[in-house]
Each structure stands twice: as structure tokens, then as C-alpha cells.
Structure 1
């Protein structure tokens, strides 16, 4: 882990950019019942039951020293991506 942190401390070099990549699978959820609206003195009421609307993969690419970032959302996760 220390070796990785040492890379982040290197000075910026345009020829050899440090690029960080992270992937997060994300589940899309929907309401199974319409939430009850807020009333005076009470919070909005929501049901714990949900409808599963599939999944997506969120990819984030960051070049911290260059100040560049890119986010991509994919409906399907394949080996090519």
C-alpha cells in the first residue's frame, strides 16, 4: 500500500500520467407503493418494499495531478468494458 501512496506523491509528468480507476456496481430501485406526503409534525412515509429495476456499472477515471476526470455509466458489464 505504501508503494501506491508513493506514486501519488510523485511530481506531475505529462508523459506518464497517474490515472486512478474505480468501478461500482449499482442497483436501481423503485418505489412499490407511492410514498405518503409529509403533514405538519410528521415526516414523509415510505414503504420498505421496493421494485428492482436492474443494475448498472459506474466507472470513474481520475487523473488527480492533471485535474482531469471522466465518469461512465454502463447498462451492461462485459469483459471488454
Structure 2
């Protein structure tokens, strides 16, 4: 693969990244990205940067691409991840809590998460649910 196009930071960008690295208040991954910017600006080649920072050359290419797409801030800030789909709606969670607060079936002294999951499916509140989801819900609502 050929040598990548040179990447240059403006004076303000370079100062901003240097202060960012010196401050050291970010996570290690973000600080590494900042160091890649500084070394790329200084004219280091990918192999040298990779060896000095103990990262892959593909990581360096990804950082450069991110810089070209959105500038320094795109490199120094992580994108906010999308929230995952919630396993239960508020109504389903309320039903599950109501089951947990109801009388325990004969032969048992307390509800287990497996019993609660099975009961929720049996009553038709959900098509399927894992005991771990039930456990997390109950932990969150204590």
C-alpha cells in the first residue's frame, strides 16, 4: 500500500490536541487517537506510529479517515451509541412486577426469576423473556 496523503493540523488544532494530551483527562483510546494526530502531523509514517503507540496500522488509517470526515473534534469525541431496543415495555414491566408481588405458587417459598419469566409468558404478557432480563428489572426496581 502506498504512503498516505500527508495530514496537517492547523496551529490552533495542534495546540488544542497538545493540551488535550497533556491534560490526560480522557480515556486511553481517545488519548491514543490524539497522539496519532500529533505524530501524523509531525510527518511520521504509519509503521512508526503503530510501533511507537502499540496499535495497528488499520487503526491509524481509521483515525485519519475520521479526521478528514469531521476534523479534530470527530477524532477526540466518541459518537454517542444508539440505545438498544428495550426488552420490555413499561406496561410489560409493570405486569412482571405485579406478578413478583403476588402470592407465590403452592410448593414454593418465593418467586425465582425463572418462575417469573415462565409466568409472564404463560399469562401472555410477553412472547418470551430471559431470566436475566427479569433479574435486571427486579434489581432496578428495588
Normalising by structure 1, what TM-score? 0.28
Task: From the CA coordinates, give the structure whose radius of gyration is larger.
Answer: 2
Larger RCO (CA within 8 A; separation ≥ 6) = 1
| TM-score (structure 2 length as normaliser) | 0.20
Task: Please identify which structure carries the higher strand content.
Answer: 1
Higher helix share: 2
